[in-house]
């Protein structure tokens, strides 16, 4: 599933094509994804201007004129592709061929200026919702989310407070979106390895020096992954069709049996299963 860096990469790719532009028409090629589309979604979006494109955790938020927001979750395999016709005004670098199988193009946005944006989702685990923008804090998908890991609200102190008293392993605690928003399995493994903290350690033992170290590692990993365009393991591609490259920098995730890259560590990466998810770590240097 795309994590925060991948969704942020998609957001950045959509901005030149959609932000500030009018949606001329929306075509729905099926009635649902993971859930049914909002009632009259195509009609409600047609003729509306996209004022801004934001992201919260793993959700895209398209801010529409007249104070409504279209929320998009990419699920496991959702992606956008962008095409511009001959009459498109200054299409820029976001125009690329779309290699995705067109039979999975479930939502098609026709944008002013001759731009077509397609939402393609072979597994159909994604979903879209429309809600009043001023009711955002009441939306079940957004209510109670923790701070963004690159925001000023996220710090060692804030992380320590969120983990205090939790007896669950820190790996599982970091996947709780109420602790920190947008983290998933890949980047949690990477941040724990970088900070030298065992994924088995109880979360309640983290507050203090470890929390400061872990918060710093989380922020660094996320910022580096965004700069690299996210990580491509199977389905992910940015809105321009480009693949992410952060997977080439993995120090732990997916590297079972490989010598640990931590300086002066003689251990090797092992894989364990926690709450049904694979965890990759070095038992020699992660304590």
Give the model confidence (pLDDT) of 106-145 as tens digits: 999 999 999 999 999 999 999 999 999 999 999 999 999 9
3, 8, 83, 148: which is the annotated catalytic residue?
3
Q: What is the pLDDT of residues 13-66, one digit of tens each?
A: 899 999 999 999 999 999 999 999 999 999 999 999 999 999 999 999 999 999
H or E element in which residue 21 lies:
none
- Sorted by where each begins, the domain ranges of the chain are 4-138, 156-281
The two domains 4-138 and 156-281 share their CATH topology (first three levels equal): no
Per DSSP, the three-state class of 45 is helix
Which of the listed CATH numbers 3.30.56.10, 3.10.450.50, 3.20.190.10, 3.40.50.300 matches domain 4-138? 3.20.190.10
Minimal CA–CA distance to 118: which of 17, 230, 46?
17
Contacts 24+ apart (CB under 8 A), 86-90: 86/114, 87/113, 87/114, 88/113, 88/114, 88/115, 89/113, 89/114
Q: What angle do CA 274, 280, 281 make, to 5 degrees?
A: 110
Q: Is 271 a catalytic residue?
A: no
> Binning pLDDT at 50, 70 and 90, where does residue 99 land?
low
21, 58, 166, 171: which is the annotated catalytic residue?
58
Q: Is 48 a catalytic residue?
A: no
Q: Is 5 a catalytic residue?
A: no
Q: Under the phi-then-psi rule, with left for phi > 0, alpha for psi from -120 to 50, and beta for the rest, what region is 57?
A: left
* Start-to-end Cα distance in the chain: 28
Asked if residue 89 has pLDDT above 60, the reply is no
CATH class of 156-281: mainly alpha
Minimal CA–CA distance to 16: which of 231, 239, 242?
239
51, 201, 277, 283: which is the annotated catalytic residue?
277
> What count of residues does the chain have?
287
User: Tokens at residue 150, please?
Assistant: 């690159």
Per DSSP, the three-state class of 224 is helix
Q: Is 277 a catalytic residue?
A: yes
2, 16, 91, 199: which is the annotated catalytic residue?
2
Decide: pTM greater than 0.85: yes
Contacts 24+ apart (CB under 8 A), 173-177: 173/203, 174/218, 175/275, 175/277, 176/146, 177/57, 177/144, 177/145, 177/146
């Amino acid at each position: 599933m795309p994590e925060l860096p991948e969704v942020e990469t998609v957001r950045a790719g959509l901005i030149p094509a959609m932000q500030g532009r009018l949606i001329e028409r929306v075509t729905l090629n099926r009635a649902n994804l993971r859930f049914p589309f909002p009632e009259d979604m195509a009609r409600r979006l047609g003729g509306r201007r996209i004022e801004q494109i934001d992201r919260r955790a793993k959700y895209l938020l398209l801010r529409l004129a007249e104070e409504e927001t279209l929320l998009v979750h990419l699920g496991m395999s959702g992606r956008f592709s962008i095409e511009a016709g001959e009459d498109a005004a200054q299409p820029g670098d976001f125009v690329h061929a779309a290699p995705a199988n067109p039979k999975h193009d479930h939502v098609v946005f026709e944008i002013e200026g001759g731009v077509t944006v397609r939402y393609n989702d072979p597994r159909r685990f994604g979903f879209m919702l429309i809600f009043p923008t001023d009711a955002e804090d009441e939306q079940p998908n957004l209510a109670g989310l923790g701070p963004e890991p690159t925001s000023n609200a996220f710090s060692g102190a804030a992380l320590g407070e969120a983990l205090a008293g939790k007896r669950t392993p820190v790996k599982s605690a970091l996947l709780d979106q109420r602790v920190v928003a947008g983290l998933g399995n890949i980047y949690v493994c990477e941040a724990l390895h970088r900070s030298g903290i065992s994924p088995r350690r109880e979360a309640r033992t983290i507050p203090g020096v470890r929390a400061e170290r872990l918060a710093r590692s989380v922020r660094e990993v996320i910022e580096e992954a965004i700069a690299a365009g996210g990580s491509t393991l199977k389905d992910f591609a940015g809105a321009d069709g480009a693949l992410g490259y952060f997977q080439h920098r993995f120090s732990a995730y997916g590297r079972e049996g490989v010598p640990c890259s931590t300086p002066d560590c003689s251990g090797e990466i092992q894989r364990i299963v926690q709450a049904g998810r694979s965890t990759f770590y070095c038992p020699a240097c992660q304590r």
